[in-house]
Structure 1
Amino acid sequence: MATIKQVSELAGVSLATVSRVINNTDQVKPGTKAKVEDAMKTLGYRPNFIAQSLASNKSNTVGYVVPELHGSFFGDLLSGTERLLKQANKHLFIAAGHSNEVDEVKAIESLLSRRCDALILHLEAVSNDYLVQLAKDNVDFVVVNRFIAEISERCVTLDNVKGGYIATQALIDNGHKSIAYITGSLWKADAEDRFTGHKAALQEAGIALRPELVFEGDFQADSGYKGMSQLLNSGETITAVCCGNDEMAYGAAEAIREKGLRIPDDISLVGFDDIEFSRFLQPKLSTVKYPMRDIGETAAKMILQKIYNKDFSVKHHIFDPVMISRNSIKTL
């Protein structure tokens, strides 16, 4: 097996230069870098990252726990993180927690056992107390899409209460009063916060919350379809519906169309997240923008700054939602 010394001799450079090329830690002239890479290719040299991690006490890997691996939401969130980590020559290990406390804890323990230098955690089932204790145990991590006061400096999220508020307010501003709401699973903090914002907007406008116009879904399109079908079959007057995320809005839209109704002529529709497909629907979906890539990048910056001493400035940990008005709201 080729050694780093043989690479340096063939390339005609120092051992330190080869090391800088391998670790991408310092600026190396393009011509010199090319010589080193050619020598490595000729000799079949592959860096021993395990040995390097033992020597430096760093594995140059970051673990990421997400609820699921499907859907464009998590793809956009992960891509923001992966891009910055890749630029810094760090590697990303991904595990799914499946919104289950046992699986989430197992995923965390698995990544820690693989000597990840830090973790990014998008968790839905483990308690705040568990994460506070994890911080006390000196585990380096950042929490995504969740705010915990005791470890606020480790959290990066969206103001979901405000997001729920502006989604409903957009309908109220357009004259709607009979507004249905399809929530995500209310045991999840972001779903509960968005529903809290919805209720606040209604209360401020003097509109009573009607429980018969609320359906608890689970953030999946099927639950949006089921919820909208149930609401339409209830006989209640509905001029608009807010959904806790865009995927449920897609399902709701299908149920509305199957009833022979039109969006927004018969029922206005608002989603949440602004995932890519929302602007391609007919009509284009009005929704609250969740800055997935920005939040993913911020989580990466926090890790790179704290663990790897990279020069990143993190301006804020809590992002403000923005209402994206398209064609799915009718003015009454």
Structure 2
Amino acid sequence: MATIKEVSELAKVSTATVSRVINGHAYVKEANKQRVYDAMKILDFQPNASAQALASNKTNSIGMLVGSFDSPFYGPLMHHVEQEVRQKNMHLIVTSGQESLNKEQESIDFLLAKQVDGLVLHSDKLSDDTLISLLLRNPNTIIINRLVPEIAESCVYINNEQGGMVATQCLIDNGHKNIGCISGQMSKVDSRDRLQGYRNALGVAGISYNPMYVIEGRFDHEGNHEAARRLLDRAPEITAIFCQNDNIALAVYDVCAERGIAIGKELSVIGFDNDNHSQHVRPRLTTIDYPINRIGSYAAKALLAKLDNRKYALANSLVPELIERDSVGKLN
């Protein structure tokens, strides 16, 4: 394996110049830089990542925490973060908190032990105080899908409460009053905010909140079919359901197929997230768009700006948008 000394001898420059070229220092003459690149190619020289990290005090890596890998939500989110990171010749290291406080903390400790240059965190379990403390110690951190007021300038999130209100208002505007709601896990801030939006829309319309119309589901694939069956069994008078994500809506589609209920005619359904599959089911799902691509891109760009000590006009709060398709019908 070739060494820096051999590269310097072939390129006829000092080892210090080779080191500066490897670590991307700006103040190297173009002619010397080209000679180093040519020598590295001839010798098939591969810079040692650990040595580069020691020399530059950077690992050229970003750490990312997500809730789980078993979700159509986190895949696109990771993809759009990585797209921005790779454009800067950096790598993304991703780990999952698996809906556990201990595992979220262990995951962050793991990423910090890898000496990543910055963090992008999607945390459900860590307290606001913990995140504030973490950001004070590691300022190159961006929080996704959550607002912590004390560190709002480092948060990128969607207004979930407004999204819940928009979804419910769509059903109300189509004549529905007996409106069910299947939430995500109530341990999640998203679920609680979307439920509050549902309650707000009912209140504005003068419709009494009925706890019998609300049932807890999950944002992943577990248990939502049973939740849908229970809701329809205990409240057969409902004419519409606000599903707090599109996974839940798909479970409602399945249960309606079991029972011969025509979605969009006998029962209206609205989702949340605008997953890729939402436009391919029949009838096509009316849903609230969660702009995963923009959130991932904004988060990565904001973090990269922090690393470069640049200002970045971060669009912290993104507005949810109603995507009207065919699963919501007018009540006669």
Q: TM-score, normalised by structure 2?
A: 0.91
- Is 1:324 the counterpart of 2:327? The answer is no
- Is 1:67 the counterpart of 2:67? The answer is yes
* In structure 1, distance between residues paired with 2:56 and 2:285: 50
- Contact 1:185–1:191, Cα closer than 8 Å, also in 2: yes
SS at match of 2:263: coil
Matched ranges for 1:1-332 at <5 A: 1-4=1-4, 6-7=6-7, 39-309=39-309, 313-332=312-331
SS at match of 2:288: strand
Q: Say if 1:237 and 1:101 are closer, same or farther in 2 by CA, change over 3 A.
A: same
C-alpha displacement at 1:42, in angstroms? 3.9
- Contact 1:146–1:156, Cα closer than 8 Å, also in 2: yes
Superposed CA offset, 1:195-232 (max 9, x none): 11011001000111111110011212343311111112
- Contact 2:246–2:275, Cα closer than 8 Å, also in 1: yes
C-alpha displacement at 1:134, in angstroms? 1.4
Q: Say if 1:264 and 1:46 are closer, same or farther in 2 by CA, change over 3 A.
A: same
* In structure 1, distance between residues paired with 2:283 and 2:10: 63
* In structure 1, distance between residues paired with 2:260 and 2:69: 34
Amino acid at match of 1:155: C
RMSD, matched Cα: 2.7
- Contact 2:185–2:191, Cα closer than 8 Å, also in 1: yes
C-alpha displacement at 1:16, in angstroms? 8.9
Identity %: 41
SS at match of 2:223: helix
SS at match of 2:168: helix
Amino acid at match of 1:135: L
Amino acid at match of 2:329: K
Q: What are the ranges of 5 or more consecutive residues in structure 1 without an aligned counterpart?
A: none
C-alpha displacement at 1:251, in angstroms? 0.8
Superposed CA offset, 1:28-82 (max 9, x none): 9xxx999876754442211112111112211111110111012221011111110
* In structure 2, distance between residues paired with 1:178 and 1:213: 8
Amino acid at match of 2:94: I
- More moved, 51-60 vs 151-160: 51-60
- Contact 1:225–1:253, Cα closer than 8 Å, also in 2: no
* In structure 1, distance between residues paired with 2:302 and 2:6: 38
Q: TM-score, normalised by structure 1?
A: 0.91
* In structure 2, distance between residues paired with 1:20 and 1:292: 38
C-alpha displacement at 1:15, in angstroms? 7.7
Q: What are the ranges of 5 or more consecutive residues in structure 2 without an aligned counterpart?
A: none
- Contact 1:78–1:293, Cα closer than 8 Å, also in 2: no
SS at match of 1:323: strand
